Amino acid sequence: MALHFSVQENLLPDRPIVDQWTMAQDIGFDGIELRGMDAASLCARLPELEKAVASGACFPSICVITDTFIGAWDGDRRSVALDTMKALIDVAGAIGANGAVTPASYGMHSNFLPPFTPERDATGDRSVLTDMLGQLGDHAASAGTQVFVEPLNRYEDHMINTLAQGVDLLDHIGHGSLKLMADLFHMNIEEADSAAAIDAAMPHVAHLHLADSNRAWPGLGHTDFTAPFAVLKRHNFGGTCAIECLSGGDPKDMLASALAHLKSAEEGA
């Protein structure tokens, strides 16, 4: 089974979404990953997105981009994050997306950086995430889509850093609408063997983020994409692999080069 590649919308030139889709498709991408900054702004885009889908555009995923996450210390902030994610899920369902992406948190605390001690213990973290993700799983099921939980590296989050930790949490919650997203940049830091980690986490893994080892365009670092792609192909992976990386250079040239690098890795898998 051929892999499906998409690109986050911010890596395309700032144009109307239908024009971005035309460019992405011309380069060879199968879809565009949308970014959800907040509930109001994303919901306001829904008519434009539905029109684009009606004309043939494909938006397989929506990634939350915010400063408030479901694992926040403060209950009020968690409520805001929950409402934001529910809006992403609603839009995902309306446009036929496979799912909406969220980490437990981002930039809130690292056990490897001062002050080293979190405001909540691991038992409290698990309780909060079980509650929040359980609610999101129910909402996703009613919307006909999924939630993709993203492990981040130890310097960006302290709760879920590896795919194995994600599997453990999702097995504990036991909700069919909750899946994992594997980000090869974070895995480059946290996993001893990214391909083996993905293999062990199947069938929970339903979406990927792709960047090279230095967070740059695929092909500009030392990440081995071939081995993870071989695992995906062996499992007949039906999800999407979305480029999420630092921008730089001419977008069209860099996107074409990055996709060519990924396609070459797929051919070698």
The pLDDT of 55-82, averaged and rounded, is 98
Determine the pLDDT at residue 45: 97
- Kindly give, in sequence order, each residue whose CB lies less than 8 Å from that of residue 198, ignoring residues fewer than 6 positions away: 163, 182, 205, 228, 231, 232
Determine the pLDDT at residue 187: 98
pLDDT of 168 higher than 90: yes
Q: Where are the beta strands (DSSP E) in the chain?
A: 4-8, 31-36, 61-64, 99-103, 146-150, 178-183, 205-210, 240-243
In the numeric block, which tokens belong to residue 139?
A: 């909402």
* pLDDT band per the 50, 70, 90 thresholds, residue 89: very high
Determine the pLDDT at residue 43: 96
Residues annotated as catalytic are 150, 244
Q: What is the CATH number of the domain that holds 121?
A: 3.20.20.150
Work out whether strand 31-36 and strand 240-243 pair parallel, antiparallel, or are unpaired: unpaired
Determine the pLDDT at residue 46: 98
d(CA 18, CA 94): 17
Determine the pLDDT at residue 189: 98
For the chain, the average pLDDT equals 98
Determine the pLDDT at residue 29: 99
* pLDDT band per the 50, 70, 90 thresholds, residue 262: very high
Structural domain containing residue 54: 4-268
Q: Are 72 and 78 in contact (CB under 8 A)?
A: yes
Domain count, the chain: 1
Determine the pLDDT at residue 38: 92
Q: Are 150 and 101 in contact (CB under 8 A)?
A: yes
Q: How much of the chain, in percent, has pLDDT values that exceed 90?
A: 100
pTM for the predicted model, two decimal places: 0.97
Q: What is the pLDDT of residues 123-146, one digit of tens each?
A: 999 999 999 999 999 999 999 999
pLDDT of 250 higher than 90: yes
pLDDT of 48 higher than 90: yes
* pLDDT band per the 50, 70, 90 thresholds, residue 247: very high
Determine the pLDDT at residue 121: 97
* pLDDT band per the 50, 70, 90 thresholds, residue 206: very high
Determine the pLDDT at residue 173: 99
* pLDDT band per the 50, 70, 90 thresholds, residue 1: confident
